[in-house]
A and B are shown apart, each in its own frame.
Chain A
Amino acid sequence: MGKRVGIVGAAVTPFKGRWVEKTYYELAQWATADALKDAGISPNEVDGAFYAIYNDIFERTCIPEHPLQGILGLQNKFGIRITNGGATGAYTMSAAHAYVAAGRFDVVLVLGVEKATDCFDFQSMSATPEVIKSIGWSGDSFFEQKLGWTAADSYAEVILAYKDEHPDDLKPEISAAISSQLSMQVRTNPYAQRQFDQVTPEEVLNSRVVAYPFKELEICVYSEGAAALVMAEEETAKAISRNTGQPVVWITGLGEANEHSFAGKNQKVMHRILSDHLAAQRAYKMAGIKSPIDEIDIVELHDAFVPQLEVTMAEMGFVPLGRADSLIEDGIMTPGGKLSVNPCGGLIYCGHAVGASNIMSAWSARSELIKQGKRRALVHGTGSTVAQYTAALILSQE
């Protein structure tokens, strides 16, 4: 076991559907400046940077992090970019933790930034089809891209296979209730793309089908924005905490898993998100958690799609597989329930600025732990084809 690692500063920029006013350079600098200010330190005190940027095509350059090193004041220091599909942010936090825990660095910056909607389809004169196309280049390039692979249809495969096994679970009215609830929760997040876009369950049910079975109001929205954390080893973290007066939020558990990307015998089990299950179990073991539903207070979960949120909650052990609807039916995640799930509104309402998303989730989990005086939170990132990748972190407050 290495050194203890804590989060001592965090910030996000507003997430927006489009930032014509700012490039990703400025978004990155903005989030970094605010996170360092939150930790009460300057760039001189940061030993290195971990960049979470998912997709070269979004930023229109193949080494998108290189211009950032200097404008963040980190020239001549360590800098590494992580890219792991939708789980980019969570994996980047995992990597940063490993370096600090190993004693390589005392203080590091974790920065996620993405600018997705500069992509533009000149045929439909709208951004979204081109954003989907850009993400479509992430599918298998020999056998699947030319079939029209998309992130949505690959996650839909998993959800429909789950429905084959559990036909009575994931009822449309439950998904609609969850989406509506998230839209209410987002009202207190001033950085959210859809802070004032509250929807009723009926509106969710009536929203258009984008990729069967997913409806528009059950799907995360593409965002532009940045999120940053400052992580520090134990003694430095405590010193920073004494200075800022903010408690350290410790990273006490981590787990990751990447499944097979093709299906069938000995390959991906299509009706499971085993990556969620394995990553969560590994994080629980490291954090000493035996009963997640009793020992975790806040979940900031990568909700690419509401039905996937439900299956992920089951895979992570909060409800049984096949009974994901009990999240609402038994009041587990409804207001006043045992768990607060995505108080920031999740990626569906706060927005999905891919590399920044999971870091935004960690920013929210940290601030909710401190604000609510709660003990433990889980932060989760999912990504790649057929929900192949997961990274999960346990955040704890003493």
Chain B
Amino acid sequence: MTTINKVKKVIPDEAIPEVGTKIVNRDGQDYLLVNDAMFTFYQRSMGEFTPFFLGMRDERKILGCRCTKCGIVRVPPLATRCPDCNFAPTELVEVGDVGKMLSTPPITYFASSLFQEQVPSGRGRIVLEGADTALSVNFYTTKGILVPGIVNRGTEMKVVFKDQRVGDITDIFCVPASELTSEQVARKGLLVSEIDWESAAEPDLPQQGPNDRGRFASALAGLRALAGEMNQCERAREDIADWKRNVHVKTAGGQMTMTIDNGDLTFEPGLVGDPDFVAVCADPMVLQEGLAYKGSLTQAMMERRLWISRNPEFTTIFKLERMARSLARSKKV
């Protein structure tokens, strides 16, 4: 959400592997793997879409194309001729920057390698005022982590323009109009910096109840037992190979530290070391059931029973869920 000051590379440096090889063994035979890439750089023509992208970049407005015969307004302005009117010419027209979701949009929790740090992320289709077709947009909430139910079919959405725009589709995204003031919704070309983005505030834990300490102790023992099994399970170890994290876990009944260290998973009481992120769950059994493959950690996050302090660390949650499945599978074989 914040402006980016450093120069962005077309391919992030951290995504590029070193020149190298690896040998893997299958049934006593060695096989060669070679680090490699296919890469092509472009200076890509935006052609007839130039006014659309420059309109967003320079004037904070959104253009569509209107058929001079049937009057349909398509956004984005896909065609200079209307395919429904025997290719009658279309003309560019400005449309509004408020609209409604065409249908309930999906939320991606497991992204491609290019979008790992952006999940959970939403992509939906908004029919802007004055338009007949829907524009694909990313959408966010100003109220924390994105979960289902915030944006549905018909939800009124406001287009927000990034402060630094480059002339591509990521110059804009949407937020629910209900999360903005009426003045913000009415303002043309609303900027990211004109919205108050709540900083990630750690959720309050409930007052410690009479059973919470016992439940915490039981969960910690259960987690340690699971970690012991996982550390003996080759498939589970592979799931956190080359991964290191210190996680402070806060629950109603107590606090613990989860450490992931290149295949090893450990739990210890208390908050130890400098955390990469903080996890808060009132009930520690949420974590234990997730790792025991009796419940989904992602589902718990979607239902707000589990909270983490850094969105990019959703990757770690996924790795933990993969370990849970690996251990469950290994017990069947």
> Does the CB pair B170–A125 fall under 8 Å?
no
> Does the CB pair B36–A212 fall under 8 Å?
no
B315 CB to nearest chain A CB (Å): 7
B35 CB to nearest chain A CB (Å): 8
> Does the CB pair B318–A208 fall under 8 Å?
yes
> Does the CB pair A57–B295 fall under 8 Å?
no
> Does the CB pair A142–B169 fall under 8 Å?
yes
User: Residue A38 at the B interface, CB < 8 A?
Assistant: no
Closest residue of chain A to B34, judged by CB? A118
Interchain CB contact (< 8 A) of A21 among B26, B38, B78, B153: B26
B268 CB to nearest chain A CB (Å): 26
> Does the CB pair A156–B26 fall under 8 Å?
no
* Contact code string B113-126 (vs A, CB < 8 Å = 1, else 0): 11110100101110
User: Residue B198 at the A interface, CB < 8 A?
Assistant: no
User: Residue A262 at the B interface, CB < 8 A?
Assistant: yes
User: Residue A371 at the B interface, CB < 8 A?
Assistant: no
Interchain CB contact (< 8 A) of A161 among B46, B103, B138, B315: B103
Please tell me which stretch of B86-94, B104-112, B202-210, B278-286 contacts chain A, meaning at least 4 of its Cβ atoms lie within 8 angstroms of it. Answer: B104-112
* Assembly CA distance A107 to B125 (angstroms): 47
User: Residue B141 at the A interface, CB < 8 A?
Assistant: no
User: Residue A368 at the B interface, CB < 8 A?
Assistant: no
User: Residue A264 at the B interface, CB < 8 A?
Assistant: yes
> Does the CB pair A262–B108 fall under 8 Å?
no
Q: Which of A205-257 contact B (CB under 8 A)?
A: 206-213, 215-216
Chain B residues lying within 8 Å of A60, measured Cβ to Cβ, are 36, 38
User: Residue A14 at the B interface, CB < 8 A?
Assistant: no
* Assembly CA distance A122 to B137 (angstroms): 28
> Does the CB pair B125–A264 fall under 8 Å?
yes
B238 CB to nearest chain A CB (Å): 9
19 A-B pairs within 8 Å (CB atoms) are namely A125-B242, A129-B110, A130-B113, A142-B46, A143-B76, A147-B137, A150-B111, A160-B103, A160-B105, A164-B104, A164-B152, A208-B321, A210-B108, A211-B106, A211-B110, A212-B302, A264-B127, A265-B72, A267-B134
Residues of B within 8 A of A (CB): 14-17, 24, 26, 29, 31, 33, 35-36, 38, 46, 49, 72, 74, 76, 78, 84, 102-116, 118, 121, 123-125, 127, 131-138, 148, 152-153, 168-170, 241-243, 293-299, 302, 315, 318, 321, 325, 328-329, 332-333
Residues of A within 8 A of B (CB): 20-21, 57, 60, 120-125, 128-130, 132-133, 135-136, 140, 142-144, 146-150, 152-153, 156-157, 160-161, 163-164, 196-198, 203, 206-213, 215-216, 262-267, 270-271
Given contacts A122-B17, A125-B243, A264-B134, list 16 more A-B pairs with CB under 8 A: A123-B15, A129-B111, A133-B114, A142-B76, A148-B108, A148-B111, A148-B121, A150-B112, A160-B106, A211-B106, A212-B106, A212-B107, A213-B106, A263-B102, A263-B133, A265-B133
- Pairs A-B, 10 closest by C-beta atoms: A264-B133, A156-B106, A161-B103, A133-B112, A129-B113, A121-B113, A132-B112, A265-B132, A122-B17, A264-B134
